Amino acid sequence: MTVLERFYEGDIRALSRIISHIENGREGYRDVLSRLYDRVGSSLRLGITGPPGAGKSTLVNCLAHRLLKQGHKVGVVAVDPTSPFTGGALLGDRVRMSDFPTDGSFYFRSMATRGASGGLANATDNVTIAYDAFGFDVTLLETVGVGQVELDIVDSCDTVAVVVVPESGDSVQTMKAGLMEIADIFCVNKSDRPGAERIISELRQMLKMRKPPEDKWSIPVVRTVATSTDGVEELEEAINKHRAHMGESGFFEKRRRYQIRKKILTVLRNRFQNEFVDRLREQGDLDQAVDEILAKKTNPFEVGDNLYRRFSA
């Protein structure tokens, strides 16, 4: 049996191999993705983002267990571009992989920063395509909420929960503007710690003051203690409510359409990058151009224009 056939039969090892294949951009990976995409349904993508150590992994762990118990099939992707380590440690110290089923209903992957073909956000998105095609109906994406890559990642989520903690010191005013804008739900985790009330009321105040969003969703603030699972049920309810609201208001489809458009552009951008710039680099045209620029015969802009014209002819 081919790997793809085993994948279709629900073999977790085949899923793992296919993801590596795609992630490393090995030969034929686009065809693989294209075939997988035929099986993509409307698996829910849920982003959990927030500062380092906020309890994201612990929350993801709680949510995954709840969803599995309800009969869902769950894929998890953890993205941590700031960490040189990938692997077991990412799910947090309280999370044991052995607690999860190995019957094909659960899979966890952490994304390596380097070697991800087409950039980290794109590689992460490709993993969610593989999950969806594999039959996972929920994908949980954990990212540290800083920087453009993370914002790009959560951009491909249907619902985004932003996790904040009392002791983070970032009072709401100093919170990264980007984080504010991507939240569909605020989760105040570690609310067993002092300062939880303050941050909750600051968030509520801030939400009251902002102008009503286009989709008319009123962003809830949920308090959790992930380590004791307190409030996780409420977090899940908030997620379900958001999903229902998105569906009823037509914004779910709108978001999906936006995501697909973005994907097409990413695919195109990668092809140009790979097949245009990389080919140039290989052909050594650049060395010659550098010589000419150093000899003051031309400049990078003129060279760029000329090469572009040659390759797009």
Ligand X SMILES: Nc1nc2c(ncn2[C@@H]2O[C@H](COP(=O)(O)OP(=O)(O)OP(=O)(O)O)[C@@H](O)[C@H]2O)c(=O)[nH]1
Which parts of this chain interact with Mg ion (CB under 5 A)? 56-57
Backbone angles phi, psi at 74, to 5 degrees: -125, 130
Q: Which does 227 bind (CB under 5 to 8 A by kind): ligand X, Mg ion, none?
A: ligand X
User: Which of 198/261 has CB closer to ligand X?
Assistant: 198
Which is closer to Mg ion, CB of 56 or CB of 223?
56
Question: Kind of pairing, strands 185-188 and 106-111?
Answer: unpaired
CB contact set of 307 (below 8 Å; sequence gap of 6+): 280, 285, 289
Phi, psi of 70 (to 5 degrees): -80, 0
79 near ligand X, judged by CB under 6 A: no
Nearest Cα neighbor of 224 from 165, 184, 171, 182 is 165
Q: Does 124 bind ligand X (CB under 6 A)?
A: no
CA distance 44 to 158: 7
Burial class (CB in 10 A: 0-12, 13-18, 19+), 71: exposed
| Contacting range for ligand X; rule: CB under 6 A; set: 13-21, 47-55, 98-106, 249-257 | 47-55
Contact flag: residue 190 with ligand X (CB under 6 A)? yes
* Smallest separation (angstroms) from ligand X to the CB of 195: 12
Nearest approach in angstroms of CB 150 to ligand X is 11
**Main-chain dihedrals φ then ψ at residue 156, nearest 5 degrees:** -95, 15
Residues 89-108, mask of contacts with ligand X (x by CB under 6 A): ---xxx--------------
190 contact, one of ligand X, Mg ion, none, CB 5-8 Å limit per kind = ligand X
User: Which tokens hold the place of 41?
Assistant: 């349904």
| Closer Cβ to ligand X, 18 or 183, answer by number | 183
Cβ closest to Mg ion, residue 143 vs residue 156: 143
CB closer to ligand X out of 58 and 128: 58
- Please state whether beta strands 74-79 and 44-50 pair in parallel, antiparallel, or not at all (unpaired): unpaired
Q: What is the rounded distance in angstroms from the CA atom of residue 91 to the CA atom of residue 89?
A: 6
Q: Which of 47, 55, 75, 118 is in the footprint of ligand X by CB under 6 A?
A: 55
Q: Let me know: does 118 contact 53? Beta carbons within 8 Å.
A: no
Tokens 């980290």, residue? 120
Choice from 57, 105, 124, 159 touching ligand X (CB under 6 A): 57
Q: Is 52 an interacting residue with respect to ligand X (CB under 6 A)?
A: yes
Which CB atom, from 124 or from 266, has the smaller least distance to ligand X? 124
Q: Is 96 in contact with 109 (CB distance < 8 Å)?
A: no
What is the smallest separation between the CB atom of 164 and Mg ion, expressed in angstroms?
A: 15
Q: Kindly identify the residues of this chain, within the stretch 221-250, that bind ligand X according to CB under 6 A.
A: 225-227
Residue 285 to residue 302: CA distance in whole angstroms: 14
Contact between 162 and ligand X per CB under 6 A: no
Which one, 55 or 220, has the nearer CB to ligand X? 55
Q: Which does 189 bind (CB under 5 to 8 A by kind): ligand X, Mg ion, none?
A: ligand X
Rg of the chain over Cα atoms, rounded to whole angstroms, equals 22
Amino acid in the structure at residue 152:
D
**Interface ranges with ligand X (CB under 6 A):** 52-58, 92-94, 144, 189-190, 192-193, 225-227
